[in-house]
Amino acid sequence: MSEFVIGIAVVFIGFLFYSIRILREYERGVVFLLGRYQNVKGPGLIIIVPGIQQMVTIDLRTIVMDVPSQDVISRDNVSVKVNAVVYFRVIEPEKAIIQVENFQQATSQLAQTTLRSVLGQHDLDDMLSKREKLNQSIQEILDRQTDAWGIKVANVEIKHVDLNESMIRAIARQAEAERERRAKVIHADGELQASEKLQHAAAILSKQPQAIQLRYLQTLNDIASEAKSHTIVFPLPMDLISPLQDLLMQKGAK
């Protein structure tokens, strides 16, 4: 009798061991009854009938997945290596188990092909300067395609765009040429503004001879203060030379 009781106790303990499951707050259990999907359970204490029911546990936390470096040829025929990181989580556990064999591997492969496809439609300048727009585009495509697997792609971030040495030197030369172009444009704008101001000042001085004389005296003062020698050349105004020239011409004509 005692052996029978011990046997029943062992069977009961074994039944409890294989039938009781405890799921954490971020876990869910997809339960199958004789191979057919039954329901999703959790979190907390879950009881499964061994041999009749099977349960597959799914983690609902956000998964951070590195996308391996991909060889991408941009629209302007530049070869680069690009890697990224994808943030996603399971929102429908039953689909993640039933609709795809390995949802993490499937999402990784889909992310790699989508990364190459999207970046191949853009120029190198877009990859370097418009990452936010490209991230959004890749995220929307992945989220739409993984919806059937019960997966929500929250974010995609391009981490590195690696260029070869020749392309880095070409970009540096292009940047230097752009800086020189801007410097020349700024210098030309300055010359234009200065000429406009000088023209305006000349128009004002031409209407007021006294102002011209004051400007003439100021110029002499500047020459005297800046000259390194004691010799100063005083320019003779043209209004004093003109009568002498006329007088000489009249005598020559006689």
pLDDT interval class at 179 (50, 70, 90): confident
Domains of the chain, earliest start first: 2-59 (no CATH), 63-163 (3.30.479.30), 176-253 (no CATH)
SS3 65: strand
pLDDT interval class at 223 (50, 70, 90): low
- What does the pLDDT look like over 117-126, one tens digit per residue? 999 999 888 8
pLDDT interval class at 166 (50, 70, 90): low
Best CA proximity match to 23, nearest among 48, 53, 52, 51: 48
The pLDDT assigned to 224 comes to: 64
Q: Once rounded to an integer, what is the mean pLDDT over residues 194-222? A: 68
The pLDDT assigned to 143 comes to: 95
Ranking 25-29, 65-69, 147-151, 221-225 by mean pLDDT, the lowest is 221-225
Say if residue 236's pLDDT is above 70: no
The pLDDT assigned to 233 comes to: 60
184-220: burial string, b at 16+ Cβ within 10 Å, e else:
eeeeeeeeeeeeeeeeeeeeeeeeeeeeeeeeeeeee
Q: Once rounded to an integer, what is the mean pLDDT over residues 148-152? A: 95
The pLDDT assigned to 231 comes to: 60
* Backbone φ and ψ of 40, nearest 5°: -115, 130
Q: Does 68 sit behind a cis peptide bond, omega within 30 degrees of 0 on the bond before it?
A: no
The pLDDT assigned to 145 comes to: 94
Q: Which residue has the higher pLDDT, 191 or 159?
A: 159
0.85 exceeded by the pTM?
no
